[in-house]
Amino acid sequence: MEQEPILSVNDLHTQFHTKSGVVKAVDGVSFDIKPGETLGIVGESGSGKSITAMSIMRLIKDPGKIAKGDIMFKGESLLSKSNREMRAIRGDRISMVFQDPMTSLNPVFTVEKQMVETIRAHRNVSKKEAINRAVELLELVGIPSPRSRLKSYPHEFSGGMRQRVMIALALSCDPEVLIADEPTTALDVTIQAQILELLQRLQKELGMAIIMITHDLGVVAEVCERVMVMYAGKPVEFAYVHELFDHPKHPYTWGLIGSIPKIVKEKVRLEPIQGLPPDLRALPKGCSFAPRCKHAMDQCLEVDPALREESEDHHVRCLLYEEKEKAVTS
């Protein structure tokens, strides 16, 4: 029997009301994720990936607000929960690994104090039991001499080790969903590989769902089953990873894949995507990507296409396919 989604995001709109206009940071995002699955969310900086994650965690502060849509976790709406109820869920049933561990960890407290406080906030355990749990977690994420390292401050760890501490903190209460926001961005390549391998191993052991937010398609190819490509706050393509790499359909996805360096004998010129992402306070009338798209038609500047299923389990937001369908049926 097919598993039910553990988390479903339905037509999510998150906006920031500023003096210079309304920033449509997330503009109609929908997806679901099942237990044990890894979903990738990929796109340039400013595409709405992190705001989507912060919306799920209910961490959007003024002047931001979730203007429309719903977020369902195990059949219950997170948007209907009180702040107190969300504090009980956040860090316990749904956890997040933030992008920069140095700013996410409190520099004036030891790792022990931060981990023990997190564990005791969600579990009715003694301080000694919480310390033992913290030692288990540091050992689980591969930190040597975990009991002695608990007494260390964040600045006494390397970047990779700080990220491991963040993952240990996120896993401290056995979450059912883990959101990893650019967990390898500031790390060198070998440490990146170790962190990704660690997340995959922990997922198999704990059976949790992972939402992997990244701008790196290499990370997506390595760890994700499905991927949502975002541009200017909207999903523009949604597919299984192998299908996305074998048969990318959206011009923006073509650009992302075309900008990845390849190891080949012949010299291949990398093709950057020309132009810049649009101002989210003043989005263009038609397709948001049209001003940068080599394949843009006149109607692309007027019509904002809907996300439609172009082939089985492969959705794309592009008028090229609507025009192709018209040509076939006419």
- Alpha-carbon span 111 to 330, nearest angstrom: 66
265 pLDDT tier (thresholds 50, 70, 90): low
- Alpha-carbon span 74 to 253, nearest angstrom: 31
Do 127 and 120 contact (CB within 8 A), yes or no? yes
- Alpha-carbon span 147 to 114, nearest angstrom: 14
- Alpha-carbon span 9 to 133, nearest angstrom: 32
Whether the pLDDT of residue 328 is over 50: the answer is no
**What is the enclosing helix (H) or strand (E) of 128?**
helix 127-140
Do 228 and 235 contact (CB within 8 A), yes or no? yes
Which residue type does 32 have? D
Question: Could you count the other beta carbons within 10 Å of the beta carbon of residue 253?
Answer: 24
- The C-alpha R_g of the chain, in whole angstroms, comes to 21
Whether the pLDDT of residue 81 is over 90: the answer is yes
pLDDT at 100: 73
Q: Under CATH, domain 7-93+173-280 is a member of which superfamily?
A: P-loop containing nucleotide triphosphate hydrolases (3.40.50.300)
Instruction: Lowest mean pLDDT of 119-123, 130-134, 230-234, name the range.
Output: 119-123
- Alpha-carbon span 108 to 156, nearest angstrom: 12
Q: Helices 159-170 and 111-122 meet at what angle, rounded to 10?
A: 20
Q: DSSP string of 45-107?
A: TTSSHHHHHHHHTT---TTEEEEEEEEEETTEEGGGS-HHHHHHHBTTTEEEE-S-HHHHS-T
pLDDT at 202: 85
pLDDT at 247: 94
**Sign, Cα dihedral of 120, 123, 129, 135:** negative
Over the stretch 130-187, which tens digit does the pLDDT of each residue have? Answer: 999 999 989 988 899 999 999 999 999 988 888 889 888 888 888 999 999 988 776 7
Instruction: Name which residue leads in pLDDT, 53 or 189.
Output: 53
Mean pLDDT across the chain, nearest whole number?
Answer: 89
Whether the pLDDT of residue 3 is over 90: the answer is no
Over the stretch 58-77, which tens digit does the pLDDT of each residue have? Answer: 999 989 999 999 999 999 99
What percentage of the chain carries pLDDT values higher than 90?
Answer: 62
pLDDT at 99: 77
| Longest distance between any two alpha carbons in the chain, whole Å | 73
Do 212 and 220 contact (CB within 8 A), yes or no? yes
Token readout for 168 is: 């240990």
Question: Which letter does DSSP use for residue 291 in this model?
Answer: G
Global pTM value: 0.90
